[in-house]
């Protein structure tokens, strides 16, 4: 019997040890979580988020500035394209002028060539007439007076011969008329040729001037083309820089989203780690003297109308201890004109307790409390007529009677 008991005890101890290790491990896990995630660690992450948002916004500004620069460049590009099109049109016009001038010069050259042929023909005719005339004079003199023949044959030119009055007399009227006609024709053709050559020279000068214009225009066009290329390259650079900014902004946004998700998870782990298990509350104001106001509808003492009182008022001496009603996380420990100094505790599963009009608060937001932890002292802060604890219970967003949870 004794041995049996001893064995059973041993087994019990072993089982207990196991449970204790389990509890210890669980606690250790909890401690680790609460050591990592605190109100301060969340605040630090939120500060990091706003810093990264600032960085992202300054990147956005830089990007906007670049986009404006790019817009200006696009305007330059469009203006240059327009100007180049105009230059191209002018150049085409000049080139067609040059073509026209070249055509005219060619025509003039043909005319000059034809005139030169005419001139040569006229000179040949004139010479032939002269030769014929000389023959006739020679024939005339072969019959008689040889002195004239000698003179005639010795004359260096027709002009020399004409100067001899004696000969003039002897020339037939026909020969003289014909010769004069030929001379006049030759002179006219020579004049015409000279005029044509002058015209050709004028055309050549006009062509040269147009060619110079063409050269200048081509240089301008080349310069504007180079400018356009450089503006296009500049736009390309700006586009690449904008793309880089966009990538950086995207990375910042992703980092911000990740941090925000982390903060949300941290807050969830900080405020939602308790899950109310249905247990009864610890009395929040053990030193109370009386219940000064009940939960529920009541007639307003002076206005005479019905009003909802959403908690239970426990009258107690100032400074009396206020205890956490159940395990949970403090989600608010603050001051408000109506509630005075107040504490709100999240117990999980949609259940919250609220403690109002305190003279002092002993806990802060994010802090874990267990049932019975001294969280505040009774006072009369906010809208209150005397020292008391207003104790409220919220379940899934609505006030419920605290008596449901109090013995």
Q: Which residues bind Zn ion (CB under 5 A)?
A: 313, 390
Residue 360 contacts residue 317 (beta carbons within 8 Å)? no
What length is written for the chain? 407
Hey, what are 216's tokens?
């200048």
Least distance (Å) from Zn ion to the CB of residue 293?
5
Contacts of 203 (CB under 8 A, 6+ apart): 101, 104, 105, 108
Q: How far is the CB of 7 from Zn ion (least distance, A)?
A: 59
**Between residues 193 and 390, which has the closer beta carbon with respect to Zn ion?**
390
CA distance 250 to 239: 16
Q: Between residues 75 and 298, which has the closer beta carbon with respect to Zn ion?
A: 298
Return the residue nearest Zn ion (CB atom): 390
Residue 141 or 295 having the CB closest to Zn ion = 295
Q: How far is the CB of 309 from Zn ion (least distance, A)?
A: 6
Nearer to Zn ion, 252 or 313 (CB): 313
Of 266 and 313, the one with the shorter C-beta distance to Zn ion is 313
For the bound state, the minimum distance from the C-beta of residue 299 to Zn ion, rounded and expressed in Å, comes to: 15
Q: Select 157 or 306, whichever has its Cβ closest to Zn ion.
A: 306
Taking the complex as a whole, the smallest distance from the CB of residue 40 to Zn ion amounts, in Å, to 33
Nearer to Zn ion, 56 or 390 (CB): 390
Who's near 168: CB < 8 A, 6+ residues apart?
Answer: 162, 176
Give the shortest CB-292-to-Zn ion separation in angstroms.
8
Minimum gap (Å) between residue 388 Cβ and Zn ion: 7
């Amino acid at each position: 019997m004794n041995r049996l008991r001893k064995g059973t005890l041993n087994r019990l101890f072993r089982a207990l040890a196991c449970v204790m290790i389990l509890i210890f491990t669980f606690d250790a896990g909890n401690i680790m979580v609460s050591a990592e995630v605190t109100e301060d660690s969340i605040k630090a992450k939120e500060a990091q988020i706003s810093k990264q948002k600032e960085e992202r916004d300054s990147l956005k500004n830089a990007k906007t500035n670049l986009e404006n620069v790019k817009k200006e460049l696009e305007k330059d590009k469009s203006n240059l394209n327009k100007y180049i099109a105009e230059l191209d049109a002018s150049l085409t016009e000049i080139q067609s002028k040059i073509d026209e001038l070249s055509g005219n010069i060619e025509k003039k050259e043909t005319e000059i060539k034809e005139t030169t042929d005419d001139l040569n023909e006229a000179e040949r005719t004139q010479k032939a007439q002269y030769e014929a005339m000389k023959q006739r004079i020679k024939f005339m003199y072969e019959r008689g007076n040889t002195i004239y023949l000698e003179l005639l044959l010795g004359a260096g030119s027709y002009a020399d011969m004409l100067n001899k009055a004696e000969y003039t007399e002897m020339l037939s009227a026909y020969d003289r008329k014909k010769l004069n006609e030929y001379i006049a024709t030759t002179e006219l053709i020579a004049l015409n040729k000279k005029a044509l050559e002058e015209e050709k020279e004028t055309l050549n000068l006009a062509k040269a001037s147009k060619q110079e214009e063409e050269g200048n225009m081509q240089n301008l066009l080349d310069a504007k083309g180079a400018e356009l290329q450089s503006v296009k390259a500049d736009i390309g650079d700006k586009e690449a820089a904008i793309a880089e900014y966009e990538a950086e902004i995207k990375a910042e946004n992703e980092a911000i989203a990740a941090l925000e998700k982390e903060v949300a998870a941290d807050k969830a782990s900080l405020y939602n780690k308790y899950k109310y298990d249905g247990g009864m509350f610890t009395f929040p104001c053990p030193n109370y003297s009386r219940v000064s106001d009940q939960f529920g509808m009541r007639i307003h003492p002076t206005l005479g109308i019905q009003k909802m009182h959403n908690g239970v008022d426990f009258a107690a001496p100032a400074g009396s201890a206020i205890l956490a009603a159940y395990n949970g996380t403090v989600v608010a420990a603050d001051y408000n004109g109506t509630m005075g100094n107040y504490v709100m505790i999240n117990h999980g599963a949609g259940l919250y307790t609220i403690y109002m009009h305190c003279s002092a608060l002993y806990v802060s937001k994010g802090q874990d409390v267990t049932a019975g932890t001294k969280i505040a002292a009774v006072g009369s802060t906010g809208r209150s007529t005397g020292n008391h604890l207003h104790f409220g219970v919220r379940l899934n967003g609505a006030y419920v009677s605290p008596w449901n949870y109090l013995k």
